[in-house]
Structure 1
């Protein structure tokens, strides 16, 4: 059973697949190996010969498996220019996780590395950022949001779409239909929906059909390629 609030679960369902695709784009920009450094005074992250503008999202402490927002960290504070502060948006949307300074994530036992990874991913998707970078420190993992125009956005990929959506559902299974709808709308695909399906028109003229059972769980995702 999830320890996240229903509001956070819905955000996760909406943005898990979107954020996962953006992570893959970011991975193609950063070197696969090499040392990394961060300079929060200038808000930069450097790995190899690549330097990106970042902001601290928060950190996950491995000892007690808790999350501390960057804006709540006494070393920085909510007004620090290199700290991401989603608290105002979280307040408007009624998401308690984004307005609570520290989160107990000891309950999480799922496919992600830890619960903090999910918090960072949902924040990235909600704010439309360019991905999240994790960095280990003694006792935990820090998460940095990339906000740099050097990292491109995502484009529709018919081959990757089923995997991305399925992976998103494995992380946030609360609303399968929302996951599919948000992924289609993120890519600006015109779509129509019925009680049992959502059909999107693809950029090449083909279509993608998502089918659901009587409990609105995704059962099938199929592509039709344009014959033109």
Structure 2
């Protein structure tokens, strides 16, 4: 069954569906049942948030202060963080913040990390419950995007410290919100996302449109989003990979 049919089908009683005369429908996201689904549901919007963060911090180097629970970029920018976990470059392994007892991370910085563990236990998802395990390239960004979206954070950041990367989420009023009326950003952000990380293009596109509050319509391998008289359309091949992306914005 396609993701679109799962979102709109009668078999899912928890999803609310509204339709208009143009056959566009307004879905809610389905309940994620794997780490990949969690990532796909949050990647589009989280990646766009990263582009905003990049504009804010520029080329400034970072500094993490565990005592104050903040990350700084240069002299003027300081943001509160939650520690999600870390990636080791030595053996390509991920360690959750809640499992890294030797680092002495304060519990108030591990609220989100512990919440992800709890969700993993409820849903029986090993990536969220195993404290330390080997991962493929790009996993730290997948985890950052998933956490950023799930907790509605302003951004995530992968802080490279030489031997590895510390993954944190950031919340600060100093970081602008996404302007959901600027639809043209989607036409540049989404192609960059799928070219930089391994992801199901079609599933990520549908969830990105949902997060951007579009109504959706599917015809064969074409997904069309409509909002305020504007449209964005993605065409996909038989493998769900993006072939064309365009819009009337």
TM-aligned CA deviation for residue 31 of structure 1: 4.3
Q: 1:65 to 1:30 in 2, by over 3 A?
A: same
> Is residue 16–residue 122 contact of structure 1 (8 Å, CA) maintained in 2?
yes
1:46 matched to 2:72? The reply is yes
Q: Which residue in the other structure is 1:182 paired with? A: 207
- Deviation by residue 1:53-99 (Cα, 9 ceiling, x = unmatched): 11111111111111111111104679700123221223334432111
- TM-score, scaled to structure 1: 0.80
User: What secondary structure, in the 3-state scheme, does the structure 1 residue paired with 2:108 have?
Assistant: coil
Q: Which residue in the other structure is 2:117 paired with? A: 87
Q: Which residue in the other structure is 2:132 paired with? A: 102
Q: Which residue in the other structure is 2:23 paired with? A: none
More helix by share: 2
Q: Which residue in the other structure is 1:61 paired with? A: 88
1:30 matched to 2:30? The reply is no
* Structure 2: gaps (5+ residues): 1-32
1:127 matched to 2:162? The reply is no
- TM-score, scaled to structure 2: 0.74
Cα distance in 2 between the residues matched to 1:45 and 1:215 = 40
Task: Give the paired residue count.
Answer: 211
User: What secondary structure, in the 3-state scheme, does the structure 1 residue paired with 2:153 have?
Assistant: coil
Cα distance in 2 between the residues matched to 1:45 and 1:201 = 38
* Structure 1: gaps (5+ residues): 1-5
Q: Which residue in the other structure is 1:3 paired with? A: none
Q: Which residue in the other structure is 1:172 paired with? A: 198
Question: RMSD of the TM alignment (CA)?
Answer: 2.4
> Is residue 192–residue 200 contact of structure 1 (8 Å, CA) maintained in 2?
yes
